[in-house]
Structure formats: C-alpha cells, structure tokens
Amino acid sequence: MWALLLCLGITFLIFEMIFPAIFFLNFAVAAFICAGISFFTDSIVILVVCFAFLSVISLYTLRPLLVKKDKDKKQQSGIEAKYIGKIADAVSKIDKTGGAISIYDERWQARTQDDSVIEEGQKVEIVSNESIVMIVRKAD
C-alpha cells in the first residue's frame, strides 16, 4: 500500500510542476505522510480518512504560507527591488514630460510625479516606474 501512496504523491508533485498553483502540493504532502502511516496499518479506511484529513489540514495551513511567500518573493524581484526607493542623480532637467537619471551607472528616462522641476545634478528618489520610465521626486 505504501508504494501506491508514494506513486500518488509523486503524481501530485508532477501535477504541481505542470500546473503551478500550490494546490496539488498539499495532496502530495498528504500522500507522502499516509505512505509513512501505511507501514503501521493496512486498513484502507484509515488511510483514506488520514489522506482526506491531512489534505484539508494542508490546504488550510501550508497553502496560505506558500502563497504568501510566493507573493513576497515576486514583489522583491525585478525593478521594484533594485530601483524603487533608491536615490539617483538627475543627468538632465526632469519635469512631468521627461528627463533622465543615472543609477548604478545606468541611464534611465525619468519624469516627476507632480508638476515640479528637478534640475540637472540634483539627487532624486525613485518612487515608481511605468515600464522603462522612472517616476521620481526630489530627494529629501
């Protein structure tokens, strides 16, 4: 019986790789735990009840933790993690219509978030981005 549950767990892991929704992973965990329990009992009723119980527990505990961790990881990657909130130098006059900044020896197009004008050479803080254009304000 343990081999069948082990195969079921591996199948759920494969489903999780094909359809990454952090859903099938919960059933894989339940199947692996039930495979361990099957060494102590051969009762299919007990194993089915354990699988159902562990699946529900896993869905309500493990899945929210993994989804939160996945969202945090996505938020900390890319432009947001590297540029937003950082201080840069204005390499040309920046206003609401355009300008340029330099950060990490890279040149980026920039605009102010309001009607203010930032002169060349001043320090700016990157507030957000719209595609490849950084939205900035004068650094404090």
Same domain, 63 and 106: no
Same domain, 14 and 58: yes
Is the pLDDT higher at 100 or at 65? 100
pLDDT(18) > 60: yes
pLDDT at res. 139: 86
Mean pLDDT across 26-36: 93
Per-residue pLDDT of 75-91, as tens digits, reads 555 666 678 888 999 99
* Residue 63 pLDDT level (bands cut at 50, 70, 90): confident
* Residue 70 pLDDT level (bands cut at 50, 70, 90): low
Same domain, 63 and 83: no
Same domain, 96 and 127: yes
Q: 61 CB contacts (<8 Å, ≥6 apart)?
A: none
Q: Which of 138, 140, 98, 88 is nearest to 118 (CA)?
A: 138
Q: 123 CB contacts (<8 Å, ≥6 apart)?
A: 87, 88, 89, 90, 138, 139
Same domain, 105 and 86: yes
Among 75, 105, 126, give the residue marking a domain's end.
75
What single-letter DSSP state applies at residue 113? S
**Mean confidence (pLDDT) of the chain:** 87
Same domain, 70 and 83: no
What's the pTM?
0.50
Q: Taking a C-beta distance cutoff of 8 angstroms, is the pair 34, 53 a contact?
A: no
Q: Which domain holds residue 54?
A: 2-75
pLDDT at res. 100: 93
